[in-house]
Structure 1
Amino acid sequence: MKAIVQDRYGSSDLLRLADVDKPTPGDNDVLVRVHAASVNAADWHIMRGDPRLARVVMPAAFGWSGPKRRIRGRDFAGRVEAVGRRVTRFQPGDEVFGDLGFDDGAFAEYVCAQDRLVARKPAGLTFEQAAAMPLAGNTALIGVRDLGQARPGQRLLVNGASGGVGTFAVQIAKSFGAEVTAVCSTRNADLLRSIGADHVVDYAKEDFTSSGQRYDVVFDLVANRSLADLRRVLTPTGTLVLSGGGVSEGGSLVGPMGLGIKAVLTSRFVRQRLVMLNSDTNRENLETLAGLAESGAIVPVIDRTYSLPEAPEAVRYLELEHARAKVVITVDQSE
């Protein structure tokens, strides 16, 4: 089968289309013929081995000189080709979507995924839309529902609202009744309003940390402000949720992890909740996302689509050109 592989850390120039063995499902696995996969910031972080500290603290994904897995990509959507002997929830022909986690391998014609990381594709979504949901949607769900505990009347701010996680976070927070403020660039303001943001702050014109406004929850997806700045816009007992962030700068030692480490240490001495988000995917969360999509509460927003051979360009675009919402790879499944 065709897949996008890399053998050592570096830029997207190292990603290449190659012939590799088709995977064989284990007892608890589902073999899926991929129709679409999506690109996440995690893909370029693993591609570059950046930040270098992650090579030490996240050995499941990061090797020392190259990624643990040759094939890039986590999110996928497609049709079940075969199932392991212990799998009873799916059968060949089922349309599904899922997240491979640190196993990676979605930028390929076929993937093997653990049964617990796969859910049925919402009937109303295309494969491209379904592939856009798993990692970004799950991260947003955990940040908004579980850590932010979004509810009616709550004031919630999303910094980095126009990205993949951010567009889901805005919609999920609105579905829980929160009053949502989205921080984004000028070109993305209309997009954020169209998906439900009550207020939009254009960071080119206004500094949200100096506005005097206070929020019950700040969901930071950019890591471009200091911990003191982010705490200043929280209520005295508000919650700061940190998830990823950072931009490609050719390599870093700590990157956005530095902000999270400071938050964890500071949280012991303040009333505000300062938490780092762990976005482990599970079937229950995927099914929740599917339900939200089927009800119309969330609609995956796709910026651009690329073919499988163009996957290196798709990763480069997400990494370096301020893509908004999701970037998706369509895998050609013509006979």
Structure 2
Amino acid sequence: MTASNTPTVQNDEPCRRSQMRAIAQQEYGGPEVLSLQTVPKPVPGAGEVLLRVHAAAVGAGDWHLMRGKPLFIRPLFGGVLKPRIRTLGADVAGTVEAIGAAVTQFQPGDAVFGDLSECGFGAFAEYVCVPELALVPKPETVSFEMAAAVAGSGLAALQGLRDMGQIQPGQRVLVNGAGGGVGSLAVQIAKGFGAAVTAVCSAKKLAMVRSLHPDHILDYTHTDFTQTDQRYDLILDTAAYRSLWNYLPALAPGGTYVLVGGGGAQFLQGMVLGPLLGRRRNGQGPANGQRRVRCLATQPNQADLLTLRDWLVAGKIAPHIGQRYDLNGVPEAIRHLESGQVTGKAVIRILPAE
């Protein structure tokens, strides 16, 4: 954990009320472009709440937007030459500080969590304005850190398995990247759906992944799952760094490959060539042996967040928090995520620990 390095602000009460600390960037680049700044505190619009952030979690979307890579995301989410999103952070949990005139679901003091990836990011700050439809109530039995850690990663795992993969009980499901935030939750969710789960991870993450109780575990440094005789009905890939052609032999006839995370070239290949790749068959069986290749674009919504909340309360899922940082440690957290050093989720604690 890094030590806090809070900049000095004026001591008068009006200034304290109108300013806040936030991690911001003015240009694309590595973690060095991120800095802790004093910026104006936002004011909620009619349908927004002002959220006092207790915890945020670091996701792959943060480092992609920080670097502006792959380049095709710049016109979609950021500026072409300069980042339009200055403060990153999508996974958030906190307390409602104030509400806009049209807000009906929340009141000041309510504890909430959500995914801000479709509404401007901004969680790496003391306060952020959020549309009320992006948030759901946080249960008292779930910490702010746990709620933040499950928001975006849980949505990706759930929607990748259920919606894109159409998971069914008894299927053979492989989760590649099971030691990460999305992958570790995907293992638990797939088990909850009644699938037989094979988890793929690195040697240093084997202990954590083993605690999730998959049916089989593969250390990818010793075993290449695409070169074995095992075939899978569904592959959820959170760590695709090879050509998608390499993964197709591991799919059973009629199987589905869902790309959730990995390299930019793989995402582009999946979006452009996915339908063509999926038409290739295993050479076994008739037309129903056609395999499908799909790329996940997570759709944050309250219904799925409520499902994740209920599973958290029931103990059906639990995010693994591998590293914790203070707000000033966001650059280090993103650097560790990029290098694959984070086990489970890295969480940013913006208020004192609960």
Shift of 1:190: 2.1
What is the CA distance between 1:87 and its match in structure 2? Answer: 1.5
- TM-superposed deviation, 1:126: 1.2
- Alignment partners' CA distance in 2, 1:93 and 1:32: 10
CA displacement, residues 156-211 of structure 1 (integer Å, 9 cap, x when unaligned): 00111111110110011111111100011112122112112110011111111111
- Asked whether 1:208 is paired with 2:225, we answer yes
Matching of residue 263 in structure 1 with residue 274 in structure 2: yes
Matched ranges for 1:58-137 at <5 A: 58=76, 61-102=77-118, 103-137=120-154
Q: Does 1:225 align with 2:242?
A: yes
Distance 1:237 1:25 in 2: 48
Letter paired with 1:154: Q
Residue 310 (str. 1) matches residue 329 (str. 2): yes
Q: Could you tell me the TM-score, scaled by structure 2's length? A: 0.88
Q: CA deviation at 1:262?
A: 2.4
Distance 1:21 1:332 in 2: 18
**Residue in structure 1 matched with residue 70 of structure 2 by the alignment:** 51
1:272 paired to 2:260: no
The reply on whether 1:287 has 2:313 as its aligned counterpart is no
Rounded to whole Å, the distance in 2 between the matches of 1:296 and 1:305 is: 22
- 2:42 corresponds to which letter in structure 1? P
CA contact (8 A) 2:96 2:109 kept: yes
Distance in 2, Cα, partners of 1:163 & 1:71: 23
Query: What is the deviation of 1:149?
Result: 2.0
How far apart, in 1, do the equivalents of 2:222 and 2:277 lie? 30
Whether the aligned pair in 2 keeps the contact of 1:34 and 1:78 (CA below 8 Å) is yes
Pick closer, same or farther for the CA change 1:177–1:183 going to 2, 3 Å. same
2:26 maps to which residue? 7
Q: For the residues of structure 2 that align with 1:174 and 1:244, how far apart are their CA atoms?
A: 20
Query: In structure 2, the residue corresponding to 1:195 is in which secondary structure?
Result: coil
Aligned partners of 1:55, 1:156: CA distance in 2, in Å?
Answer: 33
Gaps of 5+ in 2: 1-19, 282-289
Does the aligned pair in 2 maintain the 1:226–1:259 contact within 8 Å?
A: no
- Pairwise mapping of residues 159-174 of structure 1 onto structure 2 (< 5 A)? 159-174=176-191
Query: By how many angstroms is 1:333 displaced?
Result: 5.5
**After superposition, what is the alpha-carbon deviation per residue over 1:33-87, rounded to whole angstroms, capped at 9, x for unaligned?**
000011001100000000112224x2xx121122211111111101111112221
Matched residue type, 2:269: G
Q: Given that residues 242 and 266 in structure 2 are in contact (C-alpha distance below 8 angstroms), is that contact kept between their aligned partners in structure 1?
A: no
Structure 2 equivalent of residue 249 of structure 1: none
Equivalent runs, 1:16-31 vs 2, <5 Å: 16-31=35-50
Task: Give 2:316's aligned residue.
Answer: 297
Query: Distance between the aligned counterparts of 1:136 and 1:196, measured in 2?
Result: 19
Aligned-residue sequence identity (percent) comes to 47
Counterpart-to-counterpart distance in 2, 1:304 and 1:177: 30
Amino acid at match of 2:175: V
Q: 1:232 to 1:241 in 2, by over 3 A?
A: same
What letter is aligned with 2:207? D
Superposition CA RMSD, Å: 1.6
- Partner Cα separation in structure 2 for residue 269 and residue 187 of structure 1: 36
Task: State the distance in 1 between where 2:248 and 2:61 align.
Answer: 26
Closer/same/farther in 2, CA of residues 87 and 286 from structure 1, 3 Å limit: same
| Residue pair 2:68, 2:74 contacting (<8 A) in 1 also | yes
Distance 1:295 1:312 in 2: 34
Tell me which residue corresponds to 2:285. Answer: none
Contact 1:123–1:294 under 8 Å retained in 2: no
Is 1:138 the equivalent of 2:155?
A: yes
Counterpart in 1 of 2:346? 327
Instruction: Determine if contact 1:244/1:257 at 8 Å carries over to the other structure.
Output: no
Greater Cα shift, 190-199 or 207-216: 190-199
Q: Tell me the distance in 1 between the aligned counterparts of 2:332 and 2:186.
A: 26
Tell me whether 285-294 or 314-323 shows the greater mean CA deviation.
314-323
Deviations along 1:290-332, one digit per CA (max 9) or x if unpaired, are 0111111100111100000111111111112431210010003
Structure 1 position 150 matched with structure 2 position 161:
no
Q: Distance in 2 between matches of 1:122 and 1:143?
A: 25
Following superposition, the deviation at residue 280 of structure 1 comes to 1.8
Q: State the structure with more CA Rg.
A: 2
- Hey, what's the Cα distance between the residues in 2 that align with 1:180 and 1:64? 41
For normalisation by structure 1, the TM-score amounts to 0.93
